[in-house]
Amino acid sequence: MKIILESTGKKFNTEWIFRNLNYTFEPEKAYAILGRNGSGKSTLMQVIAGSIHPTQGTVRYLMDGKIISDLHIFRHISCSAPYLELIEEFRLLEMLQFHFRFKTILSGYTTKKIIGMLDFKNEENKPIRLFSSGMKQRVKLILAFLSDTPVLLLDEPTTNLDQAGIDWFLNLINEFSKKRTLIICSNLQHIETGFCSDKLLIEDFK
């Protein structure tokens, strides 16, 4: 999928978070959105995802040359971010089953296989609220990666992960990001975005 931002900007009250952003995310390429804490990376990610509207300009989505309506873009984008919450009353298996009522699971995978990929032992009936922060982050990531969408948006993907978790995340990148438009927001360039071929610095659009 191609995502085109034309003169795009977002303002809260009187403060511009970013403005006059012209950029095209091409299909099947990996991009990093970089900047210091509070610079607007997550806001831009949410505008790209269609979860908040830009104050100025437009965001267009094209697949095979056809424009996709804003109303249907959620079917084509998967996200993982610190501000996206899991339903903590659900058990792990229930969380997976609920998520894949709205997203198509990648061909060849089942919820049982995904639980095995998480490397959680005997945790499928454990409530999410009892998971550690690192376990919750793994669940958020696996839900995004294993959804059959052409666009994958990851905001600070190694948040709360230890070294074993970071290695696990990098394996997901190697296995599941091919032939997808991958966009990552990060402060950790060498860890989270070293594999990204293109980089966008948010502070260039203030």
pLDDT in tens, the chain (206 residues): 999 999 999 999 999 999 999 999 999 999 999 988 889 999 999 999 999 999 999 999 999 889 998 888 989 999 999 889 999 999 999 999 999 999 999 999 999 999 999 988 788 889 999 999 999 999 999 999 999 999 999 999 999 999 999 999 999 999 999 899 999 998 766 666 778 889 999 999 98
Which CATH number is 63's domain given?
A: 3.40.50.300
pLDDT, residue 37, reads 87
Structural domain for 27, as ranges? 2-205
Unique residue bearing structure tokens 């894949």: 100
- Kind of pairing between the strands at 198-201 and 30-34: parallel
Q: Residue 174's pLDDT is what?
A: 93
Work out how many domains the chain is built from and give that number: 1
Q: What's the pLDDT score for residue 186?
A: 86
Name which of 98, 91, 99, 97 is nearest 125 in CA terms.
91
d(CA 24, CA 32): 13
Distances (CA, A) of 29 to 44, 49, 57, 181: 18, 17, 23, 5
Q: Give the pLDDT of residue 190.
A: 67
Q: Determine the pLDDT at residue 48.
A: 96
